[in-house]
Structure 1
Amino acid sequence: MKIVVVSDSHGNDWDLLAIRERHLQEADLFIHCGDSELLDDDAAMQGYLSVCGNCDYRSQAPLKRVESLAHDVTLFMTHGHTYGVKYSLQKLYYQALEVGANLVCYGHSHYVGAEMIEGILFMNPGSLSFPRNTREKTYAIITVSDRAFEVAYLEGGTGETLIRQTFKR
């Protein structure tokens, strides 16, 4: 299973459309972790399962979602601003435990990063508009198998792979 994860696009509809087109044949799920700043029915948001971020003033999307996926994956997705993710993952960790998630996708900080904490993968795809810990504007693809999560970070405009990480399940 392949999941394309974007966040913090802040009006960048061009890259959202290009990413969806680029990965349409291989991806099983497209998710947006908030701060698109686009209307829910905008063409660039079609096909993305999304949550509302702190800059999504006109969105009707929920603040969080829990989805059951293949390979016994329970996905928890949120933007992260209501969990203080710029300071710590502790609140997000407790929420993941509460809902039984083993994959957590979030945004808000604009920082690319993934870490496994007690069997739960926490992954932030960075930002498609205003990256903070990379020069490149980024998104991620998570490849899920029964044995591992493989996270690839890609450059938003070109789709070039920048970083790859594998986390055993």
Structure 2
Amino acid sequence: MSDSHGKANLLKQIVQKVKADHVIHCGDFCTSADQLPDVSMTVVQGNCDWEDAPKESVWETGGIRFYVTHGHRYQVKTSLLPIRYRAEEVDAHIACFGHSHFPVCEQANGRLFINPGSIAYPRGFRVPSYAVLETDCTGTVHVTYYTTNGKIIGERGGSYVLF
């Protein structure tokens, strides 16, 4: 998820509901670090965060390498090309980012780019959103987008072959 902008209680509710093995927050959490859910979590600093957190992170599980950043340093509001180059540099299968508050899920040059949208303040999209990624042993990932009240957003996500 991304861009929770101080809505720590909503963030915790979603994490408790989803019960993910690992949570990725793409920045702009805008709370103190001790208000983040106490779960296995990768968190990066967004342009509105004051807490010390990495500006980017690489996380790997099950042979899938994730690159996580907020996105403001890569101009994600105008093009995915800069973040695509960075994902290639760190040899990531999946790049997760936020900043635009607009949900994106697209594959380019064999890499998957996921922006879960904003759980607090969507822009250019009708509802707040987050994404759930599920993996299988075949190198395929399944991405499903949800509203903050748990309803599936059918026009986003899908299944993608990584390798």
Aligned match of 1:17: 12
The answer for the alignment partner of 2:29 in structure 1 is 36
Q: TM-score under structure 1 normalisation?
A: 0.89
**Which runs of structure 2 are paired with 1:14-163 in the superposition (5 Å)?**
14-24=9-19, 27-42=20-35, 44-47=36-39, 48-57=41-50, 59-70=51-62, 72-145=63-136, 146-156=138-148, 158-163=149-154
Assess if the C-alpha contact under 8 Å between 2:42 and 2:57 holds in 1.
no
TM-score where L is the length of structure 2: 0.92
Unaligned stretches of 5+ residues in structure 2: none
* 2:123 counterpart letter in structure 1: R
| Structure ranking higher on relative contact order (CA contacts 8 Å, 6+ apart) | 1
Q: CA RMSD in A?
A: 1.2
Separation in structure 2 between the aligned mates of residue 55 and residue 135 of structure 1, nearest angstrom: 23
> 1:151 aligns to what SS in structure 2?
strand
Q: 1: distance between equivalents of 2:5 and 2:67?
A: 22
Aligned length: 158
* Aligned partner letter, 1:124: N
Superposed displacement of residue 91, structure 1: 1.1
